[in-house]
């Protein structure tokens, strides 16, 4: 009889295993890194418009510490925190209609970093035009504040998304910086303490749904029972990224094709998973790297005008209220992704058939990073305002199966 297991009791032991590493080319986002420069060719949401006021806020994005505020005329500003005079932080500055005034000696900067007043200098600063506080441009769209941290001569058009356009009279866009998780100690937004890519890869991982969300979490109120059916999945490259079609034959004889899409550098759309309502997805989610080991989420939802945000469902315990034991008993995406460590160690992974979408997402990401390294413009970037609207393929699409039609 064939022996199924090795009897060598020394095989596979943890002792003496080689050191492991993350994929620096794909994961690290600081200035000057390959992925950091790729990321800097796109606009990223960094704040919710309605939450940005005249009180300066610390913001960290792509490994850079910055100050964000809105001046008294309503213009958003994003500045390097260290004052161009002698370097104290503008976090303690005061904002008025013209800009932000440093707390130490009162130098004042507008939202584009121009020094407009130096009150301790003769005549308010005869040479103030020689000083510029380093700044980045911002734009507001869908109730979110987007920043561009890249080279000025490669600044693309801010993309729009077709599923969020042409609202009817009873509709609105609901912006949010939400993941349902907790705010980190150094950041007012909700933060996942892990690398952005292991968070983003979740979008090309349809097989975790029946396991993590249905079998392990058992929080069926968030996911329709249909998700217990293991899908047939195909993955495809698209104009802007990668998508999957999860194909399920339903008990009523119908067929559901559920399409989710990930677009570079870090944008995704996943159709409704609670009621599996038919039709196109109604939202976009951005997974914005704070630094190499933290990421936060922004979203924009197309909703009825009276929508006020997701409410507690029945007796549901919210994630933030769960005990440690409950987190173990009902793990969700947070536990699985943060459980991969601060930056997952790709060198010790064993990718399998079900990881085809992950492999495709990484392969194209690497290609795009190399395009930027070689002086080109990456996927999805356009400089033509007439081409700013992007198509989003995501949705729940039903058909009657031939047997029941």
* Interface with ligand FES (CB under 6 A): 83, 85-88, 102, 104-107
CA distance 55 to 241: 38
In the complex with ligand FES, the residue whose CB is nearer, 86 or 363, is 86
CA of residue 120 relative to chain centroid, distance: 43
CA distance 312 to 333: 18
Total binding residues toward Fe ion, as defined by CB under 5 A: 1
Smallest distance, ligand FES to C-beta of residue 92, A? 10
Smallest distance, ligand FES to C-beta of residue 87, A? 6
Q: Is 55 helix (H, G, I), strand (E, B) or coil?
A: coil
Q: Does 333 bind Fe ion (CB under 5 A)?
A: yes
Smallest distance, Fe ion to C-beta of residue 38, A? 25
CA distance 363 to 203: 15
Query: Could you say which of ligand FES, Fe ion, none residue 86 binds, taking C-beta under 5 to 8 angstroms by partner kind?
Result: ligand FES
- Residue 159 structure tokens: 């993309």
Query: Could you say which of ligand FES, Fe ion, none residue 105 binds, taking C-beta under 5 to 8 angstroms by partner kind?
Result: ligand FES
Query: Could you say which of Fe ion, ligand FES, none residue 85 binds, taking C-beta under 5 to 8 angstroms by partner kind?
Result: ligand FES
Smallest distance, ligand FES to C-beta of residue 85, A? 3
Q: Please identify which residue in the block is written with the tokens 């349809």.
A: 206
In the complex with Fe ion, the residue whose CB is nearer, 89 or 340, is 340
Query: Could you say which of ligand FES, Fe ion, none residue 333 binds, taking C-beta under 5 to 8 angstroms by partner kind?
Result: Fe ion
Q: Does 272 bind Fe ion (CB under 5 A)?
A: no
In the complex with Fe ion, the residue whose CB is nearer, 207 or 264, is 207
In the complex with Fe ion, the residue whose CB is nearer, 77 or 357, is 357
Q: Which stretch binds Fe ion (CB under 5 A): 41-49, 184-192, 292-300, 328-336?
A: 328-336
In the complex with ligand FES, the residue whose CB is nearer, 106 or 331, is 106
> What is the dihedral angle through the alpha carbons of 146, 149, 151, 156, rounded to the nearest 10 degrees?
-20
CA distance 331 to 336: 7
Query: Could you say which of ligand FES, Fe ion, none residue 88 binds, taking C-beta under 5 to 8 angstroms by partner kind?
Result: ligand FES
CA distance 33 to 37: 6
CA of residue 66 relative to chain centroid, distance: 18
Write b or e for each residue in 8-34: b if 16 or more Cβ atoms lie within 10 A of its Cβ, otherwise e.
eeeeeeeeeeeeeebbebbbbbeeebb
- DSSP string of 275-305, one letter each residue: S--SEE--EEEEEEEEETTEEEEEEEEEEET
Query: Could you say which of Fe ion, ligand FES, none residue 394 binds, taking C-beta under 5 to 8 angstroms by partner kind?
Result: none
Smallest distance, Fe ion to C-beta of residue 332, A? 7
Smallest distance, ligand FES to C-beta of residue 141, A? 32
- Residue 86 structure tokens: 């002698």
Q: Using CA of residue 95, residue 31, residue 357, residue 211, what is the dihedral sign?
A: negative
In the complex with ligand FES, the residue whose CB is nearer, 109 or 334, is 109
Burial of 51 (0-12, 13-18, 19+ CB in 10 A): middle
In the complex with Fe ion, the residue whose CB is nearer, 37 or 333, is 333
Beta bridge partners of 286: 267, 298
In the complex with ligand FES, the residue whose CB is nearer, 104 or 397, is 104
Q: Which stretch binds Fe ion (CB under 5 A): 248-256, 311-319, 331-339, 378-386?
A: 331-339
Smallest distance, ligand FES to C-beta of residue 393, A? 49
CA distance 392 to 260: 9
Smallest distance, ligand FES to C-beta of residue 31, A? 23
Smallest distance, ligand FES to C-beta of residue 53, A? 22
Q: Which stretch binds Fe ion (CB under 5 A): 243-251, 278-286, 327-335, 357-365?
A: 327-335
In the complex with Fe ion, the residue whose CB is nearer, 136 or 223, is 223
CA distance 84 to 113: 9
Q: Does 393 bind Fe ion (CB under 5 A)?
A: no
H or E stretch covering 362: helix 356-373
Q: Which stretch binds Fe ion (CB under 5 A): 112-120, 223-231, 232-240, 329-337?
A: 329-337
Backbone angles phi, psi at 304, to 5 degrees: -60, 155
Q: Which residues bind Fe ion (CB under 5 A)?
A: 333
């Amino acid at each position: 009889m064939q022996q199924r297991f090795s009897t060598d009791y020394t095989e596979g032991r943890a002792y003496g295993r080689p050191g492991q590493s993350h994929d620096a080319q794909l994961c690290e986002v600081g200035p000057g890194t390959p992925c950091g420069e790729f990321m800097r060719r796109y606009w990223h949401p960094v704040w919710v418009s309605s939450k940005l006021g005249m009180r300066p806020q610390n913001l960290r994005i792509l490994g850079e510490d910055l100050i964000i505020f809105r001046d008294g005329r309503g213009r958003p500003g994003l500045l390097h925190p260290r004052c161009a005079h002698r370097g104290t932080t503008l976090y303690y500055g005061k904002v008025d209609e013209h800009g932000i005034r440093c707390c130490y000696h009162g130098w004042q900067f507008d939202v584009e970093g121009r020094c407009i007043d130096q009150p301790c200098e003769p005549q308010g600063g005869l040479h103030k035009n020689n000083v510029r506080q380093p700044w980045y441009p911002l734009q507001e769209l869908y109730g979110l504040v987007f920043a561009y941290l890249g080279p000025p001569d490669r600044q693309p058009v801010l993309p729009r998304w077709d599923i969020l356009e042409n609202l009817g009279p009873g509709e609105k866009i609901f912006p949010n910086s939400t993941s349902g998780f907790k705010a980190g100690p150094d950041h007012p937004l909700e933060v996942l303490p892990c690398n952005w890519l292991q968070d983003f890869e979740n979008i090309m991982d349809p097989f975790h749904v029946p396991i993590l969300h249905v079998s392990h979490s058992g929080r069926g109120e968030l996911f329709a029972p249909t998700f217990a059916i293991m899908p047939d999945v195909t993955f495809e490259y698209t104009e802007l990224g990668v998508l999957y079609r999860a194909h399920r034959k339903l008990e009523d004889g119908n067929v559901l094709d559920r399409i989710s899409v990930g677009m570079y550098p870090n944008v995704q759309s996943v159709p409704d998973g609670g009621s599996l309502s038919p039709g196109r997805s109604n939202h976009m989610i951005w997974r914005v790297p704070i630094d190499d080991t933290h990421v936060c989420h922004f979203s924009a939802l197309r909703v009825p005008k009276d929508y006020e945000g997701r409410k507690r469902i029945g007796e549901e315990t919210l994630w933030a209220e769960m005990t440690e034991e409950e987190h173990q008993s009902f793990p969700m995406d947070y536990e699985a992704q943060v459980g991969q460590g601060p930056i997952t160690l790709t060198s010790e992974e064993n990718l399998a058939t079900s990881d085809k979408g992950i492999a495709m997402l990484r392969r194209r990401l690497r290609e795009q990073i190399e395009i930027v390294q070689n002086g080109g413009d990456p996927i999805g970037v356009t400089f033509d305002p007439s081409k700013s609207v992007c198509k989003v393929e995501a949705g729940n699409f039903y058909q009657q199966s031939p047997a029941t039609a």
